[in-house]
Structure 1
Amino acid sequence: MTDPVIRPLVAGEENLFDSMPDPLPQLRQVGYAEGLAGGGYRPENTWVALRAGRVVGRAAWVLPPGAVGDPWLERFDLDAEPEVGAALLRAAHEALGGPRLYYASMPAHWRRRPEVLAVIKAPMAAARLAGLVERGERLRCSWTGTPLPVASGRYTFRPAADAAEIDALVARIAEPDVLTGLEMARAVGGVDLATDPLAWLTGPAGDWRIALDAGEPVGLAGPAGQACYPLIGYLGLIDKAVRADLLAEAVRVLAAGGAREVVADVDAHRVAVRAELERTGFRQLRSRVVFGPAAGPPSGSAVAAMRNPA
């Protein structure tokens, strides 16, 4: 079989990336042309493997304008043996100054879907051959208007008084249940959403909701209706018993503001949180398996998995 030609794109041949059919069209992803227009994708950070002029592998690293972090691998598709994909990644890593994070996007419940497994088997094997290792998995879930559970009546809710009150409660919460956009906050803003959410969720403090039990704070939620789409940016508990009521309250706040869809991201290993999201009416949209350099430290989600399996 002919050895592939592996190289980055050059300006003017951006359509070459899209000449390869999308193997997972059901995924909601930013298109390559749209990413180029927005400045996140760049030809020099986009690599292809070609056989007889046909694209058999493609990889696009993204870094939005103004981002403080390194580019990460957002799109990686392979219609060839894993060794070709690994060679593509190694060549790109050398040009980029070393391996970078890879967020492998999958349709929801991908492990149960043979047709999806058939598509992702080669690129995931290629990532491992290129020296990347799995660091965790994040799920994106969506609520689209289903009736919310009836509140228990045990808790009351009020807006946060100010940023200082939010920061004080965040400091008491070791592992937030929901952190939506964790990867983007870290890569673009250099922000740890778990410990400094107000550096990324910059709306009014009064948009946040504090759950109270007999007047004492037991939970904190950061609904964000003015983000790129309505989302629960942060949800953390001091008392796990408030999880169901606080989650529903955060959705109610956004729905009252006109949201027809609300998204929330959760680590895949947080089984109890996932179950509560489902009871509240959330359904999985997609999964992102996080790969990182073998020599690097575990991601935040991997550390959380070791410390707090529920």
Structure 2
Amino acid sequence: MTDLVVRPLVAGEEKLFESMPDPLPQLRKVGYADGLASGGYRPEHTWVALRAGRVVGRAAWVLPPGAVGEPWLERFDLDAEPETGAALLRAAHEALGGPKLYHATMPAYWRRRPQERAVVEPPMAAARLAGLVEGGERLRLSWTGEPVPATAGRYPIRPAADAAEINALVARIADPEVLTGREVALAVGGVDLATEPLSWLTGPPGDWRVALRGGEPVGLAGTAGDACYPLLAYLGLLDEDARGELLADAVRVLAEGGAREVVADVDAHRVAVVADLERTGFRRLRSRITFAPATG
């Protein structure tokens, strides 16, 4: 690595960042130039590793304007050995005031596909060498117009009455199953979607759906049709058997409102939830593994 140069970008070097071919073009992502224009990406938060003038590693931390948290690593591509990526990360971490979260995004079935594994494993190895600790994996799924399955009607579903009813149910649901955009809500607004979703999801209470059993609420789904795209933002249950009917109802409500796509994020270890989402017509878009600074 004697000829390696690691440094941040300076204004006007967008083309240098983009000179490295996208190794995973099938993944949806905000273009670097668009991110600069919106203020989320900044040259001083963007680092490159160069050999003989060629970009062999690039990393872009993002922080939207007005965010209350710290920047997180959103783009990290490597066309070199993990040690080079680790050198890039260490230099950037020192300049940024310490290690930051890294959300490693990859195709949904990357473990089954050797070509994709060859792309995503070196940056993750570099993150470990730089002292970041691998955490949980989350899946993003998307419904794009598949027929919603018919339900047995065992659980009547109605709109939430008001914010008080939503908050009361949220307080009873210890571990919500779907929290879409949880990482962004925490970094940008300082909001934990699991405990205070109405601080982030500002639509009308009627966008929330309540599943009933014997007249009593046993499930809550928060739909957001006016966010950056339609999404199933929250799903929490007091009766797991209500999951399928509540999912189908939430998708139907969004589709009737004009949604052509609905996205949902779920922890990968929730096998039953993923299966019910797929039965409702969702398909896996991506996987995301979070690496966090070591503690202690």
Which TM-score applies when normalising by structure 1? 0.94
Q: Which residue of 2 aligns with 1:20?
A: 20
- How far apart, in 2, do the equivalents of 1:50 and 1:20 lie? 10
Counterparts of 1:147 and 1:257, CA distance in 2:
16
Partner of 1:69: 69
Contact 2:3–2:52 at 8 Å: present in 1 too? no
What residue is the counterpart of 1:123 in the other structure? Answer: 123
Q: Tell me, yes or no, if the aligned pair for 1:178 and 1:232 is still in contact at 8 Å.
A: yes
Distance 2:238 2:122 in 1: 43
Whole-angstrom distance in 1 between the partners of 2:220 and 2:13: 48
Q: Is 2:134–2:290's contact at 8 Å kept on the other side of the alignment?
A: yes
- The aligned residue for residue 44 of structure 1 is 44
Q: Identity of paired residues, percent?
A: 80
Instruction: Tell me the distance in 2 between the aligned counterparts of 1:202 and 1:153.
Output: 29
The residue number in structure 1 matching 2:244 is 244
Deviation at 1:93, TM superposition (A): 0.3
- Alignment correspondent of 2:287: 287
Q: Which residue does 1:87 correspond to in 2?
A: 87
Preserved contact between residue 101 and residue 292 of structure 1 (Cα < 8 Å) = yes
Q: Which amino acid aligns with 1:14?
A: E
Residue 122 of structure 1 deviates from its aligned partner by 1.2
TM-superposed deviation, 1:3: 2.7
Match of 1:197 in 2: 197
The secondary structure found in structure 2 opposite 1:287 is: strand
Alignment match, 1:235: 235
Question: Any gaps of 5 or more consecutive residues in structure 1?
Answer: 297-310
Which residue matches 2:138? 138
Aligned to 1:268: 268
Residues 83-142 of structure 1, C-alpha deviation per residue, up to 9 Å, x if partnerless? Answer: 110010000000111100000010111111111001112111100000011111111000
Give the residue type in structure 2 aligned to 1:50. L
Structure 1 runs (4+) greater than 6 angstroms displaced? none
Kept in 2, the 8 Å contact 1:159–1:207? The answer is yes
How far 1:169 sits from its partner (Å)?
0.1
- After superposition, the C-alpha distances for 1:125-174 in whole angstroms (9 at most, x for unaligned) are 10000001111111100011111111111111111111111000000001
3-state SS, counterpart of residue 222 of structure 2: strand
Measure the CA separation in 2 of the matches of 1:99 and 1:23: 24
Q: Give the root-mean-square deviation of aligned CA atoms.
A: 0.9
- 1:69-218 correspondence to structure 2 within 5 Å: 69-218=69-218
8 Å CA contact 1:203–1:224 kept in 2: the answer is yes
* 8 A Cα contact 2:181 2:265, kept in partner: yes
Q: CA deviation at 1:14?
A: 1.8
Shift of 1:50: 0.5
Q: Quote how far apart the aligned CAs of 1:2 are.
A: 4.0
Distance (Å, rounded) in 2 between the aligned partners of 1:288 and 1:185: 16
Q: Is the 8 A contact 2:59 2:73 kept in 1?
A: yes
CA distance in 2, matches of 1:122, 1:195: 36
Gaps in structure 2 of 5+ consecutive residues: none
SS of 2:279's partner is helix
CA-to-aligned-CA distance 1:213-243 (integer Å, 9 cap, x gap): 1111010000111111000000100111100
**TM-score relative to the length of structure 2:** 0.99
**How many angstroms apart in 1 are the aligned matches of 2:251 and 2:185?**
22
Residue pair 2:9, 2:48 contacting (<8 A) in 1 also: yes
Amino acid at match of 1:220: L
Q: Deviations over 1:2-25 (max 9, x none)?
A: 431000001111211000000111
Q: Distance in 1 between matches of 2:230 and 2:102?
A: 26
Determine the C-alpha separation between the residues in 2 that align with 1:179 and 1:121: 26
